[in-house]
Structures are given as structure tokens and as C-alpha cells.
Structure 1
Amino acid sequence: MNENLDLVEILKGCPKLKKKYNMERKIGEVFECDGKKFQVIEDPIEECDGCYFVKGGCTRSLDIRGYCGKINRKDRCAVIFKEIKDINKENKQSILDEAKSIVEGSRQSDYGDPVESFERISKAASMIAGKDLSPNECCAVLMAAKIVRESYSHKRDNLVDLCGYAEIMNRINESKKKGE
């Protein structure tokens, strides 16, 4: 079979194949195929970058993994299928340790001291909202966003960021105590 043929065109002419391949995996879903675990990840630019199945041709294991192109999916979202080798090996750090390393490391070097950063954020948010918002309130809003996202679909990053914001809120409260 020519891999360059459009799958939609192939399926139009064969109702039996269309029924067999008429499935789609939900974004975030984890499934097994050929003894390996995969997760369905949204691909907003539809470039297939990082998709495990690109290597062997997009039609391989279609009956197990489902459609990936937004034109073929009911949710109209393109996806890739990323192999999950070993979740425990991939995420050696606990979410608390990861959050701490981010707050004290990369974010601090990118944006400065988190307490000072949230002072600036609260000033900007206050201007936008037309009322005074404290650094704690701004932190709470970002925490709420992470909780809402996590309640929709699990993503480790949501929990890591939530822990990071909790640490920043604690630092804001501790700096208030020192300033009193």
C-alpha cells in the first residue's frame, strides 16, 4: 500500500475497513500496543513530531491506536502517540522536589525572586481588574487554574506547578511576617 495515499480516501471505498478503524483515543489516554505503552498527546501544529508511529508509517496499528489527524477525529484535535517507557524512571523526582527545583532554579533565574515577581504580578493584575489584588490572591488564581486543568485531565505539570505556587504563597506569607 502506498503510504502517501490519504487514509480518508482509502476508507471511503471500503466500509469494512472504515468500521474497523472508526475509533479514536481520548487525549491523555494511555494504551498498550505491541507490548509497549503509549499516551495520546494533543498535537496543535499537526506536525507529528515525536509520534512513535511515524517511524513505521501512519497506518500501522491504526485499529489499536485510532485516528491522529484532526480531519478524521470527532474532537477535531490532531494527536501524536508518545511511547511511555517507564513512568517511574521518567519522573525520578517527586512532584514536591521538582517544584522546589523549579522555584529555586530555572524560574528564579528567569523571573527573579518569586515574592518580588508576585508583587509585580499583583500590580499588573490590579490594573487589569480595576481593583487591588494581593500577591496571595494572584497566586491563588494561578493555583485555581491548575486545579481546574487537573480536574479536566491529569497532567503531572499541573501538580508540579500547584506545589510551586503553594511554596511561593508560603514565601509571600513569610515575607509579610518579617516585614511586620
Structure 2
Amino acid sequence: MKRAEILEAARICVCGERQQDYGTPENNFETIGLLWGVYLRAAHPELAKVMAINHINAKDVATMMGLLKVARIATGYKDDNFVDLAGYAACAGEIAAAERGGGDHD
């Protein structure tokens, strides 16, 4: 795939069908972060002392999902891993900008 094709496919995913299927990425990532926090505190009780349930925020989730794609890229090649990585990066960047007061969630 060419870079423009990867970016366009990522745009379609994060601004189109997936948002219709799962809601906004920000809301979905917040839910994932809450579930991960509950899981980590239950699986590793020592974390309950230092980590709130809502400690993993939407930006963290988007970034870590990008890392998941990096791990997959390291062990094999599929176009969708690069598309998804670009999509997660775009979501994380938008969330970070909004946290700084520099963007909205269109």
C-alpha cells in the first residue's frame, strides 16, 4: 500500500464505519481503560495501592493499541496493521490536543 492509501483507509476507519459501530473512539477508549484498570488491579493486587481504577485514560489506550500493532508488525506483515497504527496515532493525537485545549472531537 502507498502511504496515501494507508492514511485514507485509517481515516475511513476512525471517522466512519467503526465510529458508527462502536461510538466515538474517545468513549470506547475510556471504557477500555476502565476495564483494563479493573483487570490489572484484580490480577495484580499490589497495583491497587498505586493505581486508581480510572488511571488508564483514553490517550493511554489509543497509544497502547498502537503498540500492539507495532508488535504485530514486528512479527509479520499485514496492511491492516499499518492502517490501524495510523488510526490509533490519529486518535491519540486528537485526544492529546483536546486535553491541552487545542482541539475538539469531530
What TM-score results when the alignment is normalised by the length of structure 2?
0.75
Q: Which has the larger radius of gyration?
A: 1
Give the corresponding residue for 1:104: 15
Whether the aligned pair in 2 keeps the contact of 1:108 and 1:114 (CA below 8 Å) is yes
How big is each residue's C-alpha offset from its partner over 1:133-154, in whole Å with a ceiling of 9 and x where there is no partner? 1222222221111111111111
Give the corresponding residue for 1:168: 91
State the AA in 1 paired with 2:39: I
Residues 1-150 of structure 1 aligned to structure 2 (within 5 Å)? 94-130=5-41, 131=51, 132-150=55-73
Whether the aligned pair in 2 keeps the contact of 1:118 and 1:135 (CA below 8 Å) is yes
For 2:78 and 2:33, the matched residues in 1 are separated by 27
Shift of 1:177: 2.0
Which consecutive unaligned segments of at least 5 residues does structure 1 have? 1-87
State the AA in 1 paired with 2:7: L
For 2:39 and 2:63, the matched residues in 1 are separated by 17
Where 1:125 maps in the other structure, the secondary structure is helix
State the AA in 2 paired with 1:159: F
Give the corresponding residue for 1:177: 100
What TM-score results when the alignment is normalised by the length of structure 1?
0.46
State the AA in 1 paired with 2:87: G
- Stretches (4+) displaced over 6 A: none
| % identical equivalent positions | 30
Give the corresponding residue for 2:44: none
The structure carrying a bigger helix percent of its residues is 2
State the AA in 1 paired with 2:22: Y
Q: Alpha carbon RMSD of aligned pairs, Å? A: 1.9
Aligned pair count reads: 89
